[in-house]
Copies of this chain bind each other. A is one copy, B any other.
């Protein structure tokens, strides 16, 4: 059976959502971040040397990286039609968003998180204004304009098609859910609007709703799963 090594508030919520879409049996092993440092526990290194989440194990297989896990599971279950057929424009958009999520969106959101922490960090009084000034300058010149540009781009694309790949829900929507949630959490109301727009499309009764064992993340609980194609 597939085991999802699930870290709270992490990318592994994508894998749980995908497994629900595929209707596969799976087991969740839970790991909790250190509440102070927010780092993953070292026990995750027993599963994969880099000690990050998501990781799945399935017999002798151990696989990390959201995008790789998604492609692996979707390839093994073509009957679920969670990837558009090769040779179509939908396939090209699917591949684009599958890679864009971590290749372009998340690095900026990581910078936002790091410089927000520097801006709010406790330090000697004489250092604080300088730290704040550096953090604000990096955010205003490098990070925030690019996040705004990316959110504009995502909104423009979602105005053209109901789902990221086109007219049908695909695993690219699952992959993109994480940067949209992270943008809403880290980039404020501007990002919340984009997320809300995307979420409206997928808002329908979650198959796992009401079962907190199966709905371990806020994303799941918020109804980000079970899109309308299931209704």
Contact with B along A40-71 (1 / 0, CB 8 A): 00000000011010000000010111111001
A98 at interface by CB-CB < 8 Å? yes
Tell which of B66, B99, B126, B153 touches A68, judged by Cβ atoms closer than 8 Å: B99
Using CB atoms, name the residue of chain B closest to A110: B107
Count of A residues near B, CB < 8 Å?
A: 45
Assembly CA distance A52 to B108 (angstroms): 14
Tell which of B68, B103, B106, B149 touches A95, judged by Cβ atoms closer than 8 Å: B68
> Across the interface, do A104 and B50 meet the contact criterion of CB distance under 8 Å?
yes
Assembly CA distance A111 to B109 (angstroms): 12
A118 at interface by CB-CB < 8 Å? yes
A32 at interface by CB-CB < 8 Å? no
Binding site secondary structure of chain A: helix
For A153, the chain B residues whose CB sits under 8 A away are 49-50
Segment touching B, from A2-10, A130-138, A201-209, A220-228: A130-138
Q: Which of A63-85 contact B (CB under 8 A)?
A: 63-68, 71-72, 75-76
Assembly CA distance A90 to B43 (angstroms): 27
Nearest-CB distance from A57 to chain B (Å)?
12
Assembly CA distance A153 to B49 (angstroms): 7
A102 at interface by CB-CB < 8 Å? yes
> Across the interface, do A138 and B156 meet the contact criterion of CB distance under 8 Å?
no
